[in-house]
Amino acid sequence: LLAERGIEVAIVEEHPEIGHPTCCAGIVGAAGLRELGIKPGKWVLNQLTGARFYPPSGEPIALSRGRVEALVIDRAQFDRELAIGAARAGATFLMNTRCVGFGRNGSVKLRGPRGKTELKPRLVIGANGAGSLVAQEAGLLKTAKYLRCAQVETIADIDANTAELYFGRGLAPGFFAWVVPAGEVCRVGLGVSEGILLKRLQNFIKKHPIASEKIRSARILHLSTGLIPQPLTREIYADNLMLVGDAAGHVKPLTGGGIYLGLSCARFAAEVAVRSLEANDTSAKTLREYERLVQKKFGAEFKLGMRGRKLLEKLSDEELSSILKLLDNPEIKALVLEHADFDHHARLMGALVKKGPSLLKAIGMRKFLKYLRYFA
Ligand SMILES: Cc1cc2nc3c(=O)[nH]c(=O)nc-3n(C[C@H](O)[C@H](O)[C@H](O)COP(=O)(O)OP(=O)(O)OC[C@H]3O[C@@H](n4cnc5c(N)ncnc54)[C@H](O)[C@@H]3O)c2cc1C
């Protein structure tokens, strides 16, 4: 976006190839991509028309509106196409080059094929993931929080167009496990807020009473681990510096999805960056506008989503099962199918809260009040 506006851009990537290594289930909402003006390309591996939720106990619950809700993408190929777009717009790529330091004066220390070098750009955009080094060095991650995730690509026998989500404190405390059909393979992974990550993934693949029957544990083709940042736990700008994507914690709090959200917020970053560069003022005071625009569009999403996540973290397996079972209640299921939006969960939460009386009837007064506390 910056290069398209005629700004001189250097993209620094520590790996020799764009998009690799990758750690992502690759699910992106079809409507979100349309909003971003990104036309599906050869990176689309599959289309999802529904999801099946597996509570810690009881029967699974399937949700589908019978239409394509999301695409499963080849993330490396997708990133490569974005990079080609940037190159065509005039951006320079410094591949195999690691940013090893960020100075208070906005200088960036690099280590690459030409040895150690230093750049002094007018503005640095930290787009280097959840643990962003520039963000760390600028002191923006002091209160940052994360979930840890691991994922494999393997063969599994599941519906071709349905993502499966598995819940349980013993399985994936604070998050969930997934099996996502991605064309020729399935992506199987989980996130945790505590415990030994890889052991939990191994248990899911080999011992989960339902999932282990479907997943071929001896056919694992790829293993990756990664962090999911928690939104609203970090600053996203400083003098001469803006953060985008995971570096800024721009992910959906309930699912950790950051492709749409990161790209959407990056547009605000580009808009503010262009204006600041044109005005020759990249001070924190001027860049604050970026935060304002992000909060205006996604503030409620972050806040409500985080409250929902906090609630999920506290629920016992029994409570989790009874909440997921609500999706089988005809009135609530109809409401969910009417209001569910792949990228904007706050809309559904708002609709559910408005339907207080039916929720109260389905959950019972004591639990209703207990859960409501998280959203008050
Ligand atoms: C297991 C897992 C599954 C996920 N599934 C989904 C999903 O299904 N849908 C979805 O929307 N989101 C998903 N996400 C989140 C999504 O992957 C991220 O939100 C997204 O990758 C963020 O993109 P990014 O470009 O900000 O950061 P990254 O993808 O982390 O890219 C950062 C880039 O910076 C480079 N870099 C890092 N440090 C340096 C340095 N010092 N110098 C130079 N280069 C550097 C890296 O090599 C990398 O290319 C998932 C995340 C995980 C962990």
Using the mean position of ligand 1's atoms as its centre, give its distance from the Cα of residue 54 in Å: 27
The yes-or-no verdict on residue 360 having pLDDT over 70 is: no
Using the mean position of ligand 1's atoms as its centre, give its distance from the Cα of residue 198 in Å: 19
Mean pLDDT of the chain: 93
**pLDDT tens track for 244-290:** 999 999 999 999 999 999 999 999 999 999 999 999 999 999 999 99
**pLDDT tens track for 59-84:** 999 999 999 999 999 999 999 999 99
Q: Is the peptide bond before 21 cis (omega within 30 degrees of 0)?
A: yes
Candidates 259, 260, 261: which one to mutate for ligand 1, based on the most atoms within 8 Å of Cβ? 259
**pLDDT tens track for 87-128:** 999 999 999 999 999 998 899 999 999 899 999 999 999 999
Q: What is the mean pLDDT of residues 5-17?
A: 98
Which ligand 1 atom is the nearest neighbour of the CA of 26? 8
Q: Give me the pLDDT at residue 365, please.
A: 66
Amino acid at 149: C
**pLDDT tens track for 291-344:** 999 999 999 999 999 988 888 888 999 999 988 988 888 888 888 888 888 888
DSSP lists the bridge partners of residue 181 as: 186
Which ligand 1 atom is the nearest neighbour of the CA of 79? 25
Amino acid at 112: G
Tokens (6 digits) for 312: 């999920």
**pLDDT tens track for 141-179:** 999 999 999 999 999 999 999 999 999 999 999 999 999
